[in-house]
Structure 1
Amino acid sequence: MSESPTTARAYRLRVYPSRAQRLVLGRLFGAARFVWNWALARRSDAYQADQSKLNWVALSREFTALRHAPETAWLAELPREPFNQVLRDQERAFANFFAQRAKYPRFRRRGAQASVRFTLDQRRTQV
């Protein structure tokens, strides 16, 4: 008997967080922006140094060490799944750049639209 196909659905929700939740989300958005900018700087430096291309797996290994460093211990207080999604998103951005479908990825700044993704029950949910 064959398995029935599954349908992927996406839901976009507007949330009205409490003050405490806004603080946590603000920290999470800021940390995701930090990870994007850190990874972009690492990729750019590696490419300028010896034309090497870092993939998200190598950056994830480096980021694990960075999370546990004393000066960035605040990253370890937050869930790691959104950070993995940031590294995967950046991998896709560079794939689009090298395929000439997009411009070179830019550094993210505070005040721009912020979002993070979590994997819940093997489904991706955007917050």
Structure 2
Amino acid sequence: MSQDTAPPTDVSNMPDTKKPLQRTVEDYCSMNTYLELIRDQRMQFCTILNDVENFLLAEQDEPSLQQAQKIEYYRQEIRNLFRKANGLVDMMNRDKKPDPMMDDAMEILVREMGFVENTFNSQLDFYLQ
């Protein structure tokens, strides 16, 4: 053996990374349930942002107490949605089996929460100008 060549690596104890993850029927059911919950959460985000936008577009008058109450209602609804989404992420983390698809789904949900908050604040800023 020459000085330039490294000794062969013992791969007998290394995990087989080409082998698919072994999943049970329960794993698939659990993943589908979580993905359905995430999809539902995302739809609720879209609905609340659409409702806020429609409300703000319809309100062309000077801001009033009733409008402020409605805006506070939307703010509370978004907080409730965030609580549910955070609870879902926590539940998924506790129940987590290594799965890149679930990691991606959780990451998307967390990013969308930031998007919802930024969009809501932008809509309010524009309305209150």
> Which one has the largest radius of gyration?
2
More helix by share: 2
More strand by share: 1
TM-score range, shorter chain: 0.3 to 0.5
TM normalised by structure 1 equals 0.37
> Does 1 or 2 have the higher relative contact order (CA < 8 Å, sep 6+)?
2
